[in-house]
Structure 1
């Protein structure tokens, strides 16, 4: 009936649930303040949380499968994450 879930999967899922809950909370703040300037300020601060969740979730996943992946592939993955973060940074 119950399947064993890996700790890495549970950690990743919890982080994504927290991230999604924060996004929903921010949407309610938009509606509450009903002000475009405040909404943009809140949205900008939310933009800091996304990359942090991405990095932590990816790290948990990679640690969970570290014994199954080569160091070269690990470097490629971290390089890909770095490219994503560089591509979405402002400025």
Structure 2
């Protein structure tokens, strides 16, 4: 999980450096648009890894609550 977060941070930092390098708002906007794919993808992958790791250690009720919480996060993102 930490490795994926580190990879995500590296991509974000690289994008920020590219924005500074090009120094144009149009290019920065395009780079930022590409980053909109990275964030949700990393969120889903890290969440999936965490749930797989917790599967045998958490009670079924606890797991249902975690899954419901993740579902509410995605529902909130889609609605607002």
TM-score range, shorter chain: 0.7 to 0.9
For structure 2, the 5+ residue unaligned runs are none
Task: Determine if contact 1:55/1:81 at 8 Å carries over to the other structure.
Answer: no
Aligned partner (choices 39, 42, 51) of residue 40 of structure 2:
51
Displacement of 1:55: 0.8
Q: How many residue pairs end up in the alignment?
A: 80
- Structure 1 unpaired stretches of 5+: 1-11
- Deviation at 1:65? 1.4
Cα distance in 2 for residues equivalent to 1:32 and 1:87: 35
Answer yes or no: is 1:68 the counterpart of 2:57: yes
Instruction: Kindly indicate which of the two structures has a greater share of residues assigned to helix.
Output: 2
Structure of greater relative contact order (alpha carbons < 8 Å, 6+ residues apart): 1
TM-score (norm 2): 0.80
RMSD: 2.1
TM-score, normalised by the number of residues in structure 1: 0.72
